[in-house]
Amino acid sequence: MIDKTVASVAEAVAGIPDGATVMIGGFGRAGQPVELIDALIAQGASDLTIINNNAGNGDTGLAALLAKRRVRRILCSFPRQHDSWVFDALYRTGEIELELVPQGNLAERIRAAGAGIGAFFSPTGVGTELAAGKEERMIDGRTYVLEYPIAADFALISALRADRWGNLAYRETARNFGPIMASAATTTIVQVDEVVPLGSIDPESVVTPGIFVDRVVAVGERAWLRNGEFVAGVDLEGRPLERLNGASTGSGTRAVEQ
Protein backbone atom coordinates (compact mmCIF):
# COMPACT_ATOMS: atom_id res chain seq x y z
CA MET A 1 0.00 0.00 0.00
CA ILE A 2 1.35 3.38 -0.99
CA ASP A 3 1.31 5.80 1.91
CA LYS A 4 3.62 8.81 1.77
CA THR A 5 2.34 10.44 4.95
CA VAL A 6 4.59 10.82 7.98
CA ALA A 7 3.61 11.53 11.57
CA SER A 8 5.56 14.73 12.26
CA VAL A 9 7.49 17.54 10.64
CA ALA A 10 10.63 16.21 12.36
CA GLU A 11 10.18 12.90 10.57
CA ALA A 12 9.47 14.72 7.32
CA VAL A 13 12.83 16.53 7.26
CA ALA A 14 14.88 13.67 8.71
CA GLY A 15 17.90 12.81 6.60
CA ILE A 16 18.53 16.23 5.08
CA PRO A 17 22.33 16.39 5.39
CA ASP A 18 24.80 19.22 5.80
CA GLY A 19 25.65 20.73 2.43
CA ALA A 20 22.35 19.82 0.80
CA THR A 21 20.69 21.95 -1.88
CA VAL A 22 17.13 22.70 -0.76
CA MET A 23 14.35 24.40 -2.69
CA ILE A 24 11.82 26.19 -0.48
CA GLY A 25 8.47 27.18 -1.94
CA GLY A 26 6.72 30.45 -1.36
CA PHE A 27 6.38 33.94 -2.75
CA GLY A 28 7.28 35.98 0.29
CA ARG A 29 5.04 34.58 3.02
CA ALA A 30 2.42 33.15 0.64
CA GLY A 31 2.90 29.42 0.34
CA GLN A 32 6.02 29.35 2.51
CA PRO A 33 6.32 25.99 4.36
CA VAL A 34 7.08 27.58 7.72
CA GLU A 35 6.52 24.45 9.82
CA LEU A 36 8.95 22.45 7.67
CA ILE A 37 11.53 25.24 7.86
CA ASP A 38 11.21 25.32 11.65
CA ALA A 39 11.70 21.54 11.69
CA LEU A 40 14.79 21.89 9.51
CA ILE A 41 16.20 24.43 11.96
CA ALA A 42 15.60 22.01 14.84
CA GLN A 43 17.09 19.15 12.81
CA GLY A 44 20.38 21.03 12.55
CA ALA A 45 21.47 20.69 8.91
CA SER A 46 23.94 23.42 7.94
CA ASP A 47 26.07 24.66 5.04
CA LEU A 48 22.91 24.60 2.93
CA THR A 49 22.28 26.03 -0.51
CA ILE A 50 18.75 27.46 -0.61
CA ILE A 51 16.65 28.20 -3.69
CA ASN A 52 13.71 30.50 -3.10
CA ASN A 53 12.07 33.49 -4.71
CA ASN A 54 13.05 35.71 -1.77
CA ALA A 55 15.70 35.77 0.94
CA GLY A 56 13.43 35.75 3.96
CA ASN A 57 10.92 38.10 5.59
CA GLY A 58 11.13 39.44 9.12
CA ASP A 59 12.46 36.93 11.62
CA THR A 60 10.41 33.81 10.86
CA GLY A 61 10.45 31.01 8.31
CA LEU A 62 13.32 31.27 5.85
CA ALA A 63 14.68 34.35 7.66
CA ALA A 64 14.98 32.29 10.86
CA LEU A 65 16.96 29.63 8.99
CA LEU A 66 19.33 32.32 7.71
CA ALA A 67 19.62 33.87 11.17
CA LYS A 68 20.87 30.53 12.53
CA ARG A 69 23.65 30.76 9.92
CA ARG A 70 22.67 27.43 8.43
CA VAL A 71 22.77 28.74 4.84
CA ARG A 72 26.00 29.15 2.90
CA ARG A 73 24.48 30.21 -0.43
CA ILE A 74 21.11 31.37 -1.69
CA LEU A 75 19.71 31.60 -5.22
CA CYS A 76 16.75 33.97 -5.50
CA SER A 77 15.21 36.73 -7.57
CA PHE A 78 14.20 39.24 -4.89
CA PRO A 79 16.63 39.24 -1.96
CA ARG A 80 16.04 42.72 -0.57
CA GLN A 81 12.86 44.34 0.70
CA HIS A 82 11.76 46.38 3.68
CA ASP A 83 11.88 43.42 6.09
CA SER A 84 14.87 41.46 4.75
CA TRP A 85 17.17 42.65 7.54
CA VAL A 86 18.47 39.16 8.34
CA PHE A 87 19.73 38.59 4.79
CA ASP A 88 21.01 42.17 4.53
CA ALA A 89 23.16 41.81 7.64
CA LEU A 90 24.61 38.45 6.57
CA TYR A 91 25.34 39.63 3.03
CA ARG A 92 27.04 42.84 4.12
CA THR A 93 29.38 40.89 6.39
CA GLY A 94 30.16 38.29 3.75
CA GLU A 95 28.48 35.46 5.66
CA ILE A 96 26.25 34.34 2.80
CA GLU A 97 26.72 34.01 -0.96
CA LEU A 98 24.05 35.26 -3.37
CA GLU A 99 23.25 34.23 -6.92
CA LEU A 100 20.71 36.72 -8.24
CA VAL A 101 18.42 35.21 -10.87
CA PRO A 102 15.68 37.16 -12.68
CA GLN A 103 12.31 35.81 -11.58
CA GLY A 104 11.23 34.46 -14.95
CA ASN A 105 14.59 32.77 -15.46
CA LEU A 106 14.42 31.35 -11.94
CA ALA A 107 11.04 29.76 -12.59
CA GLU A 108 12.05 28.45 -16.00
CA ARG A 109 15.39 27.08 -14.78
CA ILE A 110 13.58 25.16 -12.04
CA ARG A 111 10.91 23.96 -14.48
CA ALA A 112 13.60 22.89 -16.95
CA ALA A 113 15.19 20.67 -14.32
CA GLY A 114 11.90 18.89 -13.72
CA ALA A 115 11.19 18.57 -17.44
CA GLY A 116 14.61 17.14 -18.29
CA ILE A 117 15.61 20.12 -20.44
CA GLY A 118 19.39 20.45 -20.71
CA ALA A 119 19.45 24.23 -21.18
CA PHE A 120 17.52 27.03 -22.86
CA PHE A 121 18.08 30.47 -24.32
CA SER A 122 16.49 33.51 -22.66
CA PRO A 123 16.59 37.21 -23.57
CA THR A 124 16.38 38.24 -19.92
CA GLY A 125 19.58 39.76 -18.58
CA VAL A 126 21.21 40.38 -21.95
CA GLY A 127 23.62 43.30 -21.72
CA THR A 128 23.74 43.25 -17.92
CA GLU A 129 26.12 41.80 -15.34
CA LEU A 130 23.74 38.86 -15.00
CA ALA A 131 24.80 37.71 -18.48
CA ALA A 132 28.55 37.99 -17.83
CA GLY A 133 30.39 34.86 -18.89
CA LYS A 134 27.32 33.20 -20.39
CA GLU A 135 27.03 31.95 -23.93
CA GLU A 136 25.08 34.30 -26.20
CA ARG A 137 23.29 33.53 -29.43
CA MET A 138 21.44 35.66 -31.97
CA ILE A 139 18.04 34.15 -32.79
CA ASP A 140 15.74 35.90 -35.28
CA GLY A 141 17.63 39.14 -34.78
CA ARG A 142 17.45 39.07 -30.97
CA THR A 143 20.25 38.26 -28.54
CA TYR A 144 19.73 35.48 -26.00
CA VAL A 145 21.85 34.02 -23.22
CA LEU A 146 22.13 30.34 -22.37
CA GLU A 147 20.63 29.34 -19.02
CA TYR A 148 21.00 25.99 -17.28
CA PRO A 149 18.47 24.11 -15.13
CA ILE A 150 18.38 24.41 -11.34
CA ALA A 151 17.81 21.13 -9.53
CA ALA A 152 17.91 20.31 -5.82
CA ASP A 153 18.42 17.44 -3.44
CA PHE A 154 15.27 18.36 -1.51
CA ALA A 155 12.22 20.56 -1.96
CA LEU A 156 10.15 21.84 0.96
CA ILE A 157 6.75 23.06 -0.21
CA SER A 158 3.31 23.84 1.16
CA ALA A 159 -0.06 22.78 -0.23
CA LEU A 160 -3.64 22.94 0.97
CA ARG A 161 -4.41 19.21 0.98
CA ALA A 162 -3.06 15.86 -0.12
CA ASP A 163 -4.05 12.22 -0.18
CA ARG A 164 -1.80 9.42 0.99
CA TRP A 165 -0.43 8.95 -2.51
CA GLY A 166 0.90 12.51 -2.43
CA ASN A 167 -1.48 14.11 -4.94
CA LEU A 168 -1.60 17.81 -4.10
CA ALA A 169 -4.13 20.62 -4.35
CA TYR A 170 -3.05 24.17 -3.54
CA ARG A 171 -4.85 27.25 -2.30
CA GLU A 172 -4.91 29.86 -5.05
CA THR A 173 -1.64 31.77 -5.49
CA ALA A 174 -0.04 29.96 -2.55
CA ARG A 175 0.90 27.34 -5.15
CA ASN A 176 3.46 29.69 -6.81
CA PHE A 177 6.77 27.78 -7.05
CA GLY A 178 5.45 24.59 -5.42
CA PRO A 179 4.60 22.53 -8.53
CA ILE A 180 7.84 23.18 -10.40
CA MET A 181 9.99 22.67 -7.31
CA ALA A 182 8.26 19.36 -6.63
CA SER A 183 9.37 18.06 -10.02
CA ALA A 184 12.91 19.47 -9.83
CA ALA A 185 14.03 17.88 -6.56
CA THR A 186 15.25 14.39 -5.82
CA THR A 187 13.14 14.29 -2.64
CA THR A 188 10.02 16.42 -2.26
CA ILE A 189 8.60 17.04 1.21
CA VAL A 190 5.19 18.66 1.55
CA GLN A 191 3.30 20.17 4.46
CA VAL A 192 -0.47 20.35 4.05
CA ASP A 193 -3.40 21.55 6.08
CA GLU A 194 -5.03 18.16 5.81
CA VAL A 195 -4.64 14.67 4.39
CA VAL A 196 -7.87 13.45 2.83
CA PRO A 197 -8.98 9.96 1.70
CA LEU A 198 -8.07 8.73 -1.77
CA GLY A 199 -10.59 10.00 -4.29
CA SER A 200 -11.53 13.04 -2.23
CA ILE A 201 -9.54 15.40 -4.45
CA ASP A 202 -11.16 16.00 -7.82
CA PRO A 203 -8.60 14.82 -10.42
CA GLU A 204 -9.09 18.14 -12.21
CA SER A 205 -7.91 19.90 -9.02
CA VAL A 206 -4.71 17.88 -8.64
CA VAL A 207 -1.92 20.28 -9.57
CA THR A 208 1.05 18.17 -8.46
CA PRO A 209 0.64 14.42 -9.06
CA GLY A 210 1.88 12.14 -6.32
CA ILE A 211 4.67 10.77 -8.51
CA PHE A 212 6.60 13.97 -7.71
CA VAL A 213 6.04 13.75 -3.93
CA ASP A 214 7.96 11.65 -1.40
CA ARG A 215 6.75 12.72 2.06
CA VAL A 216 3.56 14.41 3.25
CA VAL A 217 2.87 15.78 6.73
CA ALA A 218 -0.36 17.37 7.95
CA VAL A 219 0.20 20.51 10.05
CA GLY A 220 -3.41 21.65 10.43
CA GLU A 221 -5.10 24.75 9.13
CA ARG A 222 -3.05 27.92 9.33
CA ALA A 223 -4.05 30.63 11.79
CA TRP A 224 -5.02 32.96 8.97
CA LEU A 225 -7.43 30.47 7.36
CA ARG A 226 -10.88 29.37 8.40
CA ASN A 227 -12.43 26.51 6.44
CA GLY A 228 -10.04 27.31 3.64
CA GLU A 229 -10.93 31.00 3.50
CA PHE A 230 -8.57 33.89 4.30
CA VAL A 231 -9.57 35.50 7.59
CA ALA A 232 -6.48 37.23 8.93
CA GLY A 233 -2.92 38.13 8.19
CA VAL A 234 -0.27 40.72 8.81
CA ASP A 235 0.37 44.16 7.44
CA LEU A 236 3.57 45.14 5.68
CA GLU A 237 5.24 45.70 9.05
CA GLY A 238 4.30 42.22 10.30
CA ARG A 239 1.52 43.40 12.65
CA PRO A 240 -1.55 41.11 12.97
CA LEU A 241 -4.69 42.22 11.18
CA GLU A 242 -8.33 41.28 11.62
CA ARG A 243 -9.96 40.49 8.32
CA LEU A 244 -13.14 38.50 7.70
CA ASN A 245 -14.38 37.26 4.33
CA GLY A 246 -12.53 39.91 2.37
CA ALA A 247 -13.81 42.83 4.46
CA SER A 248 -11.65 45.90 4.80
CA THR A 249 -9.17 45.96 7.64
CA GLY A 250 -10.20 49.53 8.34
CA SER A 251 -6.58 50.61 8.51
CA GLY A 252 -6.05 51.24 4.83
CA THR A 253 -3.10 48.85 5.02
CA ARG A 254 -2.89 46.01 2.56
CA ALA A 255 -2.93 42.56 4.17
CA VAL A 256 -0.48 39.88 3.13
CA GLU A 257 -0.68 36.18 3.87
CA GLN A 258 1.75 34.61 6.30
Least confident window among 54-63, 119-128, 217-226: 217-226
Per-residue pLDDT at 29: 81
**How confident is the model over 13-17, as a mean pLDDT?**
97
Per-residue pLDDT at 40: 97
DSSP structure string for the chain: ----B-S-HHHHTTTPPTT-EEEE--BTTBT--HHHHHHHHHHT--SEEEE-SBS-BTTBTHHHHHHTT-EEEEEESB---TT-HHHHHHHHTT-SEEEE--HHHHHHHHHHHHHT---EEE-TTTTSGGGTT--EEEETTEEEEEE----EEEEEEEEEEE-TT--EE--GGGGTTHHHHHHHEEEEEEEEEEE--TT-S-GGG-SB-GGG--EEEE----TTEETTEE-EEE-TTS-EEE--TT---SSSPPPB--
Per-residue pLDDT at 207: 97
Global pTM reads: 0.85
pLDDT of residue 26 exceeding 50, the answer is yes
Mean pLDDT rounded to a whole number for the chain: 88
**How confident is the model over 97-123, as a mean pLDDT?**
96
Per-residue pLDDT at 220: 87
pLDDT in tens, 226-248: 665 655 565 555 566 654 444 43
pLDDT grade for 249, boundaries at 50, 70 and 90: very low
pLDDT above 70 as % of the chain: 86
Domain boundaries, the chain: 16-101+150-220, 224-258
pLDDT in tens, 77-87: 998 888 889 99
Q: What architecture (CATH level 2) is domain 16-101+150-220?
A: 3-Layer(aba) Sandwich (3.40)
Per-residue pLDDT at 60: 87
Least confident window among 38-47, 166-175, 207-216, 240-249: 240-249
**How confident is the model over 87-101, as a mean pLDDT?**
95
pLDDT of residue 209 exceeding 70, the answer is yes
pLDDT of residue 188 exceeding 60, the answer is yes
pLDDT above 90 as % of the chain: 76
Per-residue pLDDT at 201: 95
